[in-house]
Amino acid sequence: MFSSGMTEYRFISVAEAERLIRENIPLLPAEEVALDDAKGRVLREDVHTARPVPPFNRVMMDGVAVASRAVLAGRRRFRIAGRVLPGQAPRTGGVNTETDCMEVMTGASLPTGFDAIIPYEDVEISGGTALLRVPRVHAGMFVHRKGSDAAAGTLVLEKGAVLDAARIAAVAGCGKARLKVSRCPSVALISNGDEVVMPGEPITENQIYGINNISVRTLLELHGIRPVSTFHCSDDPERLEQVIGRALSENDIVIVSGGVSMGKKDFVPAVLARLEVRCVFHKVRQRPGKPLYFGIRGDTRTVFALPGNPVSAMVCTRRYVLPALFHAMGARFQEDLWAELGRDLDFAPELTFFPPVVGETDAAARIRATPLDYHNSGHFLALVKSSGFVEIPCSMETRYPAGIKVRYFPWQMMVGPFEEVS
C-alpha cells in the first residue's frame, strides 16, 4: 500500500526560502551561440570593444567638410575638391584645407585636415564652389570623434547580463558574431489530480479544468524559458512516480503542481523521496502558497512542487521559480520594486501575504498598487485584472493602511545587470 508518507517539515520564512533556493540550485552549463540566437539569453562572458568607438572621426550630417581655422580667418567660399561616401577611405591628396572643402555624407570618415561639417542646408553650391551661410563654425562641429564613446578594450557588458535588444545591438557593434551564454533550462510541468480535466476534454459536474500547466508554461515562456513540456497525471502514486522519474531523467527543472499538501491523496513529497530527491524545504509561512516544496536530485536536477490552487501556483512561480531559473542561468539581477498600497488591507494570520493588485504609475513615476477583491487561492478570475502582486510582510499587525510602502512583483520580471551591494 502506497502511503502519502507526509513528514513534518518546519515552516520557514520567505527570506529563508529565497536564500535556500539561491544556495542550492545548480548553475546551468554555458554554450556558444550565434548572435542571432542570443536574444533573451544570459551572457556568460565579458564583452569588450575590439576597436575605438567610433573607430574613425565619423561625419554626422550630409554637407561639406571644412577646416574651422579657415572659416574663423574669414573665408566663406571654398572650392569643392572631392566627395567622401560612407565606407570609403577619404582621399586628400592635392587638397588645400585653407581654400578647399570636400562633400561628405552621414557616416563617412572625416577627411584628414578637416575638423567641421557644414550641413547642406547652410551651404549654397554653385560652379564647383560652396558658399557657407552660417554665422559661426567651431572645431568638432557635427563630428563624432574617434574613440569618444569608448576606447579599444573597454568593458561593454559583464557576464550575467540578460541580452535584450539594446545589449544585442552593443555586442553587434563590437563585431562579435558568437557569444558564450547559459544553456536554456529544459523544464517539465506535471499537474496531477483526478478532478482535473484538460481544456477541451469532456468534463463532469464535479471536475475542474486544468489551469496550472498552461498558466505556468505561459509565464515561463513569456520570460524566454524554453523548451517547456507538460504532462498530467491522475492521483495514482505509481503512475506519478513513473511520470516524475522520467521527467527528472530528461529535464533540468521539474515543476509539479498539486498533491503537495497534507491530504490523503497528496503523494508528491513521498514520491519525490522515493526518487531520491533531497528535500531542501517544504512549507513556507506565506499565503497563498504555504505548501511550497523545493528539492534537488544529484548535482543537476531541480524540483519545485507547487500547491494545486491556481493563484498559489502562479504566485509561487513568479515569486520563486522564475528568479531561481535566472539565477541558475547566472543572471545578475535584483528585484527591488516598491509601491504604495492603494487601499487599506486587513489580514490577520502571521504569514507573509501576496494579494493580487492593479499597479498604476503616476506622473512622478510612483507606483500605486491597489489590492483586488480576492476570495482565496482558488479564485483564479481575480488574476484577470491584476498586473502582479505585492508582498505584505509577516507581522502581528492586522490592518495595513493605504499609502504604506510594499514590495511589488509585476507578472513580468525586470531582469538585467546590476551593481552588487556588498
- Per-residue pLDDT tens for 352-405? 999 999 999 999 999 999 999 876 666 677 788 899 999 999 887 888 999 999
Q: Which of the residue ranges 137-151, 202-216, 217-231, 404-418 would you say has the lowest mean pLDDT?
A: 404-418
Looking at every residue in the chain, the average pLDDT score rounds to 92
Euclidean distance between CA atoms 57 and 104, whole angstroms: 12
Q: With a cut of 90, say whether residue 200 has pLDDT above it.
A: no
Top pLDDT among 336 and 407 is at 407
pLDDT at 22: 97
pLDDT at 396: 77
Would you call 275 helix, strand, or coil by DSSP?
coil
- Segment 12-34 shows an average pLDDT of 98
Euclidean distance between CA atoms 311 and 382, whole angstroms: 9
Q: CB under 8 Å to 166, separation ≥6 — which residues?
A: none
Euclidean distance between CA atoms 323 and 18, whole angstroms: 9
Per DSSP, helices labelled H in 223-298 are: 237-250, 268-274
- Segment 141-165 shows an average pLDDT of 97
Between the alpha carbon of residue 350 and those of residues 313, 339, 372, 393, 399, the distances in Å are: 21, 22, 21, 9, 12
Q: With a cut of 80, say whether residue 3 has pLDDT above it.
A: no
In this prediction, residue 333 has a pLDDT band, given cuts at 50, 70 and 90, of confident
Residue 102 in contact with residue 80, Cβ under 8 Å? yes
320: amino acid identity, one letter = Y
pLDDT at 244: 97
The percent of residues in the chain predicted with pLDDT above 70, rounded, is 95
pLDDT at 419: 37
pLDDT at 421: 32
Euclidean distance between CA atoms 35 and 37, whole angstroms: 5
Would you call 220 helix, strand, or coil by DSSP?
helix
Give the residue carrying C-alpha cell 548572435: 35
The domains of the chain, with CATH numbers, are 14-30+184-328 (3.40.980.10), 34-52+151-182 (3.90.105.10), 58-144 (2.170.190.11), 338-410 (2.40.340.10)
CA nearest to 57, candidates 149, 174, 173, 143: 143
Whether the predicted model's global pTM rises above the 0.75 cut: yes
Euclidean distance between CA atoms 16 and 363, whole angstroms: 36
Euclidean distance between CA atoms 356 and 287, whole angstroms: 11
pLDDT at 159: 96
CA nearest to 265, candidates 191, 194, 190: 194
CA nearest to 236, candidates 188, 193, 191: 193
In this prediction, residue 1 has a pLDDT band, given cuts at 50, 70 and 90, of very low
CB atoms within 10 A of CB 41: 22
pLDDT at 196: 87
pLDDT at 239: 94
Euclidean distance between CA atoms 306 and 389, whole angstroms: 17
pLDDT at 7: 52
pLDDT at 4: 53
Q: With a cut of 90, say whether residue 280 has pLDDT above it.
A: yes
Top pLDDT among 50 and 199 is at 50
Length of the chain: 422
CB atoms within 10 A of CB 255: 28
- Segment 223-249 shows an average pLDDT of 94
Euclidean distance between CA atoms 354 and 389, whole angstroms: 6
pLDDT at 381: 75
Would you call 358 helix, strand, or coil by DSSP?
strand
DSSP 110-155: PPTT--EEEEGGGEEEETTEEEE--S---TTTTEE-TTSSB-TT-E
Q: With a cut of 80, say whether residue 416 has pLDDT above it.
A: no
C-alpha cell read off for 284: 513556507
Top pLDDT among 3 and 100 is at 100
In this prediction, residue 19 has a pLDDT band, given cuts at 50, 70 and 90, of very high
pLDDT at 378: 62
Would you call 214 helix, strand, or coil by DSSP?
helix
Top pLDDT among 373 and 214 is at 214
Residue 55 in contact with residue 173, Cβ under 8 Å? no
- Segment 327-349 shows an average pLDDT of 91
- Segment 88-103 shows an average pLDDT of 91
Residue 254 in contact with residue 321, Cβ under 8 Å? no
C-alpha cell read off for 73: 580667418
Radius of gyration over every alpha carbon of the chain, rounded to an integer in angstroms: 31
Query: Residues 43-92: pLDDT tens digits?
Result: 999 999 999 999 999 999 999 999 999 999 999 999 999 999 999 998 77
